[in-house]
Amino acid sequence: MNYTAEDEILIDRRWNELVESCRKARICKNEEDWNFIRRAFFLAKEAHKGVKRRSGEPYILHPIAVAMIVVNEIGLGVKSVVASLLHDVVEDTDYTVEDIEQTFSPKIAAMVDGLTKMAGVFNTEASEQAEYFRKVLLTLSDDVRVIIIKLADRLHNMRTLGSMPLNKQIKITSETIYLFVPLAYRLGLYAIKSELEDLCMKYRFPKEYEEISRKIEDTQHARQAFIDKFTAPIIEVLDRDNIKYEISGRIKSIYSIWQKMQRKQISFEEIYDIFAIRIVFQALPFPSEKTQCWQIYSSITDIYTPKQERLRDWISIPKSNGYEALHSTVMGPDGIWVEVQIRTQRMDDIAERGFAAHWKYKHATISKDEDELDKWLKKIRNALNGPTDSAIDFLDNFKLSLYTSEIVVFTPKGEAHKMPNGATALDFAYEIHTKIGNHAIGAKINHKIEPITAHINSGDQIEIITAETAHPKAEWLEVVTTSKAQQSIKTFLKRERQNNIEHGQKMLSEQLGRHNIIQNGRVLRKIMSSYECLNKDELYSKIGAGIISLDNLDKLLKENASKKILKFWKLFIPGGNGNATDETGTESEHAETPQTNRALDKEPEFVIAECCRPIPGDRVVGYRDPATNHIIVHKATCETLTRLAAQFGKNIVKEEIKWSQQKAESYLATVELRGIDRSGIILDITKVITVDFSINMREINIRNHDGIFDGLISLYVKNTEDLNALLDNIRKIKGIESVKRLINY
């Protein structure tokens, strides 16, 4: 099948745009470089001849677009452009890696081979997935450009995601948020990271995306007026000091604004730090860049009062991805806090273009010392060579190394170590040495004895206390946050408990025998589902390791299934086939007519996910559990759903799941409160809940300290509308500072 005349015109136009981008970037040093790129283009064009994307465009436009991103938005060179143009040739056509090597070079063939393997990561069975991913990621230390081109490929696919069906959108956006976004951050590609996040939100939560986008646009005029007022005295000082600079107001990404609204449960109007002022200046040869940044900081704080606890010095100790800048929050006009970012042009290049700029400046200074990115690449390679139990463990462990927020802590001798935000003393112990982690029993944090599970904060000085008799416990896996700690603990447990599966199988058989329950496939599936195990070996292993207790096995198997299983009259999939049935198997009197509300061929069993506990009114997504065939219903914002969709995208239910209005049920929700304590306030709260709204409470836990109270209330509600109405009334009670639904992500 040949290209049409219209196709040829469009292809030529995009090719010429790529050529122009290469000229502007000056990546081609001679005619040989140009011929290298031309040959790649014509081979790719011929290989993809007649193939269309789902959007209807010629497929060759995709590799051209990836090459454009590589040149314009990342700043890579000729080999990367060639590999971008060829990245789908081996995967989608009859050309082989050997053909690419003969036609181009071994380096180009190796890059295309890596990109081809990367394409298989999320499209293969779990048993193959880890090996594919490991092989590709091993190229990080050798040629990180493979991963960067894959990020460019993902970015263009996300920009054209609108042509995909809903379940594919959920799968692709979940993969993107779960792995590609933190990977882009870790390589310093901030602009790409932010765009990927925004695109994920655009397709997963279009209504919220459009609303925030509109509000940003509506407030642009007033915001610009404030920025002009704020920056006027700063510009005057910088001009006085003859500093060459650019100053601008940068809006937070739509996704980051939405995340803050979700996390704090506040409105768009309540977010005060929606933008930041950025100063990028041309550094002089002397004094040091660091000194010049602090001089500008000093000038600004002569004008505006700084908020000391919001000072972020990433110049003295850069982030692990190479990011350098000085951030300060100051009190601006009209009582508004404003973040100011100070960086040199070099720092700004690295912040915007990540790895490419990092490598350029590294080579320009002829530095042979390992920097933070080099250290991270080496750490990743070591981790990838370590033992891995399964593909899923492998992906999870790799993701742990891509943490997006970090702290700096110190050894007793003053050596600095970067750790992920939220890390524990146990993570730090394993960071120092695996043996220290395996024998850790406690820690001295700032000379005060704390449990080994204590969380650590930036600036802490930590000494690990060990004992030869101590060893890792299975529950430590729930405490640690770093990949190294997770892998070290798993390796120890695996070595020490080789007989876990056999022992667990024996324990389960004995326990079932005590209750006169015959072990069969149905019983095992129910137990696996209850304990969220993917297979029998995982179940037996966790029982043998003591992770799963069988004390409540009898109750678990005999409990009323209706507490967890939601039949068709509570949740349904619009557009399915067949009629709904009630729990006796007869046609339900609550079912609508087949034209307005039809179920699947076989009545689905819907299970409310324990991780996020959605209630009617929440937007939900279905995940079909392969072990039980139940449809697990998650909130669309649930982090567990994102992980499952990234790893098992084929199990996402294609159709949109809706809440039915046919049956009144109660669902558990947890409310978090905080306020100023006074006599009778708890009575007022419970009166609104139980008397005014006739809502049953399951649990109430309120704590008082220094005249301030906070706590949690678990209660049963029918839907989000009732819950929101209740929260509005509680907010009116005297002394209540904040009340919000506790949400798991």
**Phi, psi values for residue 405, rounded to 5°:** -140, 135
Tell me the CB-side half-sphere exposure of residue 541, using CA atoms within 13 A.
Answer: 16
- What percent of the residues of the chain are helix, what percent strand, and what percent coil, each to the nearest 5? 50, 15, 35
Distance of CA 91 to CAs 86, 114, 207, 375, 459, Å?
A: 10, 11, 36, 32, 49
Catalytic residue among 7, 33, 57, 92: 92
**Residue spans of alpha helices (H) in 354-473:** 355-364, 372-384, 391-400, 425-432, 434-438
Please enumerate in sequence order all residues whose Cβ is within 8 A of that of 164, keeping only pairs 6 or more positions apart, or say none: 54, 172
Helix, coil or strand: residue 388 = coil
The answer to whether 308 and 331 have CB atoms below 8 angstroms apart is: no
**What is the DSSP pairing of strand 448-451 with strand 440-445?**
antiparallel
Give the residue carrying structure tokens 């990743």: 380
**What is the DSSP pairing of strand 606-608 with strand 631-635?**
parallel
Q: CA-CA distance, 165 to 368, in Å (whole number)? A: 49
Helix (H) or strand (E) holding 208: helix 206-218
Question: Cα dihedral angle (25, 31, 33, 38), rounded to 10 degrees?
Answer: 100
Catalytic residue among 91, 313, 532, 582: 91
Active site residue 554: no
As a whole number of Å, the end-to-end CA separation of the chain is: 48
**What is the DSSP pairing of strand 326-331 with strand 312-313?**
antiparallel
Active site residue 143: no
Q: CA-CA distance, 261 to 265, in Å (whole number)? A: 5
Helix (H) or strand (E) holding 526: helix 521-530
**Residue spans of alpha helices (H) in 26-165:** 31-47, 61-69, 78-86, 89-92, 97-103, 106-119, 126-137, 139-142, 145-159
One-letter-per-residue 3-state SS of 263-308: HHCCCHHHCCCCEEEEEEECCCCCCCHHHHHHHHHHHHHHHCEECH
Report residue 101 CA to chain centroid gap. Answer: 36
Catalytic sites, residue numbers? 91-92
